[in-house]
Structure 1
Amino acid sequence: MHKHFSLLHNKYNKNNAETLVGMALYHGDKEEWVIQAIDSILNQTYEDFVFVVVIDGEVSVKMTNLLKDKAFSDNRLVLAQNTFNVGLAESMNRAVEWGACLSPTFFARMDADDISTPNRLSRQVSYLRKHSYISVLGSALTEINEKGEKVGSRVMPSSHRQIINILPRRCSLNHPTVVIRYSVFEQGYRYNNSLLNTQDYFLWITLAAEGFVFRNLKDRLLAFRRVNNFYKRRGLTKSINEFKARWHAMVKLKRLTPYNVFYACGVLTLRIMPGNVVKWAYKLDRHLLERFGKH
């Protein structure tokens, strides 16, 4: 176990679990949303999982007590603590490595401000059981605001071919919905912990280049929290990282075309424009993705 990663609460009393669910939370996460996210996993119709929540750095005493109360009420909830904030990628890598001793078959992602539908894990796990050649499975999602009201949706292309074709232009999986076969990690693949964002995008590019098969379900299995600052300027660092990811995808997947280069440059320019312009472009992107991204 990593020296800066420790278990805060672990009463999981089984020797194995078919699925490990990984979630990280941070200082500033809203207690109400965190509890909704945790409850949405603990109340799944599917039950053969261990749920590892990584507290990434210091959080409030109130948050810690709420988490401990939840963990005492359900032994499947394991609390881990990073000594200091290391980011999502490293938090998930540490959760994956800790859980390896339980010999899980699947790793499911969850975010601390989202809500999984009650049948999410059942739907995704059963699909992966039936399709052993698929290594990474995502789904569509519903977008909700701070009040939990539906404000949109995000339906990604379903087929492997479409996912790979679109990957040089955009991340074609909804990261909080993804379930990954543990065998991917057993072969040495990890999130790039040197990145503070776009970690999932780079991982999908690497796995796609290595021949792993992807799929997206059209079922909306997660409510994704779209907050008021969602459309704000992304900042130069994140925008450049996204551009690097697109360029990396073009090179690794041998899709260095004029259209893909133009798209990457256009998005880089868009990211630093005012929020109302970004909002308009986001809605147009969702419309085009649902219309032309079908298999």
Structure 2
Amino acid sequence: MIHQGAIASDVESLVAMAVYHNDCLAWLQQAVDSVLCQSYQSFIYLIVIDGPVSDEITAFLTDTAANDSRIVLAKNAENVGLAASMNFAIEWGMALSLNYFFRMDADDISLPERLEKQVSFLNNHEKVGVLGAALTEINEAGEKVGARIMPASHAQIVRVLPRRCSMNHPTVAFRYDVFRQGFRYDAELKNTQDYFLWIQLASEGIVFCNLKDRLLEFRRVNNFYKRRGLTKSLNEFRARLFAMRALRRLTPWNLIYACGVLTMRLMPARIVKMAYRMDRKMLEKRNKS
């Protein structure tokens, strides 16, 4: 721990974010500011610096933390990945009597009412363990380029899981009791860790929900449509097979879909872009029906 201010005794939530050497300083500043300016204020903001970062990023985080007691800075000696960094944040918060754990990425922007709306919903729906939200997709200049609205109900979310990751991972809020049951991210995974966690939690009876409100601006950069690496594409395929088995949804259609997505992921960017747009339209149509 390289910086920790006094923690209020009545703090209710933890917001966790990992920062890396290739993060854009301007986007990081926007991400941090968006959390600090939330209408809901009962939180600790744990920022995990995952390995070496630039002097500019270090200076920004150090200066910001020095001026805001809600910020706690931790640093990994080497890059260990997002899953391990989030597990560290979860474990660090276990010693505190917290109710909620929020995910945040270093290139996204949380809308001012994000935490307040999610806390309010969780306070009024005690059975929900994991709560996501819709998001707006923005480009490098901050201009809106799309949207991502996921299925709302637990039944819809679980039904879709064998075919797609039906939670927008940067928007997710957990009830801390989920982690007290022993659930964690798979630290061996360097990608798709969220997808695998949703499947595990759903198979164990944890209840999911998504708000229709767009509570986050998600950065969709120019290389978004580049063909996926073989490792990530295969991990997504493995996740879909895992979901079919764990959720008892091993059907010919789900298998065909999984094989089709694996093939598409390895195609040129223009084909991936076309498929992505078609998928978004189908998802929006399904959610409206």
How many Å apart are 1:37 and its aligned residue? 0.3
Asked whether the 8 Å contact 1:23–1:111 carries over to 2, the reply is: yes
- In the alignment, what sits opposite 2:89? 95
SS in 2 for 1:102: coil
Asked whether the 8 Å contact 1:157–1:294 carries over to 2, the reply is: no
Which amino acid in structure 1 is aligned with residue 111 of structure 2?
T
- In the alignment, what sits opposite 2:58? 64
Q: Is residue 34 of structure 2 the alignment partner of residue 34 of structure 1?
A: no
- In the alignment, what sits opposite 2:38? 44
Q: Is residue 182 of structure 2 the alignment partner of residue 188 of structure 1?
A: yes
SS in 2 for 1:293: helix
Q: 1:197 aligns with which of 183, 191, 199?
A: 191
- In the alignment, what sits opposite 2:224? 230
Which amino acid in structure 1 is aligned with residue 195 of structure 2?
Y
Asked whether the 8 Å contact 1:16–1:102 carries over to 2, the reply is: no
Asked whether the 8 Å contact 1:12–1:77 carries over to 2, the reply is: no
How many Å apart are 1:130 and its aligned residue? 0.2
Which amino acid in structure 2 is aligned with residue 187 of structure 1?
Q
TM superposition score normalised by structure 1: 0.97
**Number of corresponding residues:** 289
Q: Deviation per CA, 1:103-153: give whole Å up to 9, x if none.
A: 110000000000000000000000000000000000000000000000000
User: Aligned-residue CA RMSD in angstroms?
Assistant: 0.8
SS in 1 for 2:95: helix
Is there any run of 5+ residues in structure 1 with no aligned partner, and where? Answer: 1-6
- In the alignment, what sits opposite 1:132? 126
- In the alignment, what sits opposite 1:170? 164
How many Å apart are 1:16 and its aligned residue? 4.7
Whole-angstrom CA distance in 1 between matches of 2:75 and 2:283: 38
Matches within 5 A, 1:114-133: 114-133=108-127
Which amino acid in structure 2 is aligned with residue 139 of structure 1?
A
Whole-angstrom CA distance in 2 between matches of 1:248 and 1:17: 37
SS in 2 for 1:22: strand
Residue identity (%): 61
- In the alignment, what sits opposite 1:154? 148
How many Å apart are 1:294 and its aligned residue? 4.4
Asked whether the 8 Å contact 1:11–1:75 carries over to 2, the reply is: yes
How many Å apart are 1:10 and its aligned residue? 0.6
Q: Deviation per CA, 1:171-195: give whole Å up to 9, x if none.
A: 0000000000100111100000000
- In the alignment, what sits opposite 1:275? 269
Which amino acid in structure 2 is aligned with residue 221 of structure 1?
L
| Runs of 4+ that moved beyond 4 A | none
SS in 1 for 2:271: helix
Is there any run of 5+ residues in structure 2 with no aligned partner, and where? Answer: none
Which amino acid in structure 2 is aligned with residue 289 of structure 1?
L
> Which stretch has the larger CA shift, 96-105 or 122-131?
96-105
TM superposition score normalised by structure 2: 0.99
